[in-house]
Amino acid sequence: MSDRTTAADMQTRVLDIRTGHREQVHDLTAQCAQFLRDVSRGRDGLLNVFVPHATAGIAVLETGAGSDDDLLAALRDLLPADDRWHHRHGSPGHGRDHVLPALVPPHATLPVIAGELALGTWQSVTLVDTNRDNPERTVRLSFLG
């Protein structure tokens, strides 16, 4: 993890996330909140969460009550891991992982009020990774305030 100031009013932190070799919805909410405690100084602004990978996305959804598993099941229905995909390197069905960011975008920009993430009661910020071939992910958090 590293912090960097990129402009007078923007702070950035890079997170290294290990997702393993299975499909996963990884909750980033606590790490986002910690980042904001460290850099926001209680200011209002925007938090941008970005995953610079061609086979992962960022989603805001409820976790822990089954919605994360439901999302993965829906993605399996929409993007089956079979041989229909033109993009064919990697494990069988890997081409679907390259279509994922069209459905689950690689970024989210979220409001920050008084230094805290302004999420709804049950909302969490998550990394969605269906690519079993790449267990290491990078997530960039940027606060503009």
The mean pLDDT value of the chain amounts to 93
pLDDT digits (tens, 9 = 90+) for 49-103: 999 999 999 999 999 899 999 999 999 999 999 989 898 788 888 999 999 999 9
Task: Determine the pLDDT at residue 91.
Answer: 86
Q: Which residues contact 44 (CB under 8 A, 6 or more apart)?
A: 111, 112, 113, 114, 145
pLDDT digits (tens, 9 = 90+) for 15-64: 999 998 899 999 999 999 999 999 999 999 999 999 999 999 999 999 98
CB neighbours of residue 107 within 10 Å: 14
pTM above 0.75, yes or no: yes
Tokens describing residue 144: 């503009």
Instruction: Identify the band that residue 128 occupies on the pLDDT scale cut at 50, 70 and 90.
Output: very high
- Check pLDDT > 90 for residue 122: yes
Tokens describing residue 119: 């999420």
- Check pLDDT > 90 for residue 125: yes
Task: Determine the pLDDT at residue 88.
Answer: 79
Task: Determine the pLDDT at residue 2.
Answer: 66
Task: Determine the pLDDT at residue 4.
Answer: 60
